Amino acid sequence: MTSRDVPVSGVAPTGGLRREITDGLIVAGRNLKRVPRIPELAVFAIIQSIVFVVLFAFVFGGAIPLEGGGSYREFLLPGIFAQTVAFASITTAIGMTDDVNKGIIDRFRSLPMARSAVLTGRTVFDLVYQTGILAVLMVAGLAVGWRVRGSVPEFFAGVALLLTFVFAMSWVGVLIGLTVRTVESANQLGFTVLFPLTFVSNVFVPTESLPGWLRPIAEWNPVSTLTAATRDLWGNPNPYAAEGFPAEHPVWLTLGWVVLIVAVFAPLGVRRYRSMSR
């Protein structure tokens, strides 16, 4: 047997990083091809966000006073974008669980592909996919009166910040997806975590209106810092508590959260994936 002498130990024999990138892109491409085949997924993601816009802009919005004035819809939309990218992790979790249950992950694990590619491919896909969702939502936002008042670089800085958050939340979704056993529980767990995260925040109401003990939680919440950061960058109303670290450094705080979330959840996801062979 000629193959006996080849020394390998669970590492890609050739290619290394290049193979990881190629295989990651193949997996990402596979996920992209699926989008038009299951259009309801993207359509519902967009509709869900639009429902929140309609609900808050037209139903509750009038009852929510903004200190210092400003349009509630301009206040709301950056929050909706942040909420949307946070909820994206549920889509990731459901997708991963479905792949595990359908045996696709086993197929991948039996192939001589880069071990990292299944997970990186998924998170790279999420970036592309959510960029598309955000673009549609921004057009919808413009239609209901949201405006960007900052400069072009500031606009793109805001978008980039949203996308780094997509990447971070995608790893949260990967871990959930590899941990729970059914698509239903992935969905349930996602909503259980994400509803408080997006509602105990500055997304829909200024944090000053919250009871004192809840306020610091809401202000340090990554969804809040992301929302505050994009509001600042885009010149949208941001009646955030004027004092305190979160109010003064929302961009840096958001980047800190992204680094922290990736640093915690990416290794856990990778470990979970590896432990599937135990």
Partner 1 sequence: MDAITAEGLVKTYKSKSGVVRALDGLDLTVAEGTVLGLLGPNGAGKTTTVRILATLLRPDAGRATVVGCDVVRDAQHLRSMIGLSGQYAAVDENLTGRENLVMFGRLYQLSTSEARRRADELLEQFSLADAANRVVKTYSGGMRRRLDLGSALTGRPKVLFLDEPTTGLDPRSRLALWDVIREREREGTTILLTTQYLEEADELAHAIAVVDAGKIIARGTADELKSQIGGERIEVVVHARTDLARAAEIVGRDCEGDCTVNEHTRRLTAPARNGAQSIVQVVRDLDEAAIAIDDIALRRPTLDDVFLTLTGHAAELAPSDDDGPAPATQPAQDRRSA
Q: Is 17 in the site for partner 1 (CB under 8 A)?
A: no
Nearer to partner 1, 71 or 179 (CB): 179
Tokens, residue 266: 């990416």
Span near partner 1 by CB under 8 A; candidates 95-103, 122-130, 195-203, 225-233: 95-103
As a whole number of Å, the end-to-end CA separation of the chain is: 28
Nearer to partner 1, 97 or 207 (CB): 97
Question: Which listed residue (152, 212, 213, 278) binds partner 1 by CB under 8 A?
Answer: 278
Q: Is 37 in the site for partner 1 (CB under 8 A)?
A: yes
Q: What is the distance between the alpha carbons of residues 49 and 212, in angstroms, rounded to a whole number?
A: 29
Q: What is the distance between the alpha carbons of residues 96 and 192, in angstroms, rounded to a whole number?
A: 18
Q: What is the distance between the alpha carbons of residues 142 and 51, in angstroms, rounded to a whole number?
A: 15
- Least distance in Å: CB of 178 to partner 1? 8
Angle at 176 between CA 54 and CA 29, to 5 degrees: 80
Nearer to partner 1, 1 or 63 (CB): 1
- Least distance in Å: CB of 32 to partner 1? 11
Q: Is 63 in the site for partner 1 (CB under 8 A)?
A: no
Q: Is 6 in the site for partner 1 (CB under 8 A)?
A: yes
- Least distance in Å: CB of 185 to partner 1? 11
Residues 148-187 that bind partner 1 (CB under 8 A): 178-179, 181
- Least distance in Å: CB of 108 to partner 1? 7
Residues 190-249 that bind partner 1 (CB under 8 A): none
Span near partner 1 by CB under 8 A; candidates 2-10, 42-50, 55-63, 150-158: 2-10
Question: Which listed residue (77, 86, 90, 105) binds partner 1 by CB under 8 A?
Answer: 105
Considering CB under 8 A, how many residues would be counted as binding partner 1? 45
Quickly list DSSP for the chain: -GGGG---SSS-SS-THHHHHHHHHHHHHHHHHHHHHSHHHHHHHHHHHHHHHHIIIIIIGGG-PPTT---HHHHHHHHHHHHHHHHHHHHHHHHHHHHHHHTHHHHHHTSSS-TTHHHHHHHHHHHHHHHHHHHHHHHHHHHTT----S-HHHHHHHHHHHHHHHHHHHHHHHHHHHHSSSHHHHHHHHHHHHHHHHHSSSSSS-GGGS-TTTHHHHHH-HHHHHHHHHHHHHT------SSSHHHH-HHHHHHHHHHHHHHHHHHHHHHHHHGGG-
Span near partner 1 by CB under 8 A; candidates 80-88, 96-104, 162-170, 204-212: 96-104
Q: Is 69 in the site for partner 1 (CB under 8 A)?
A: no
Nearer to partner 1, 117 or 197 (CB): 117
Residue ranges in contact with partner 1 by CB under 8 A: 1, 3-4, 6, 8-13, 15, 19, 22-23, 26, 29-30, 33-34, 37-38, 100-113, 115, 117, 178-179, 181, 272, 275-278
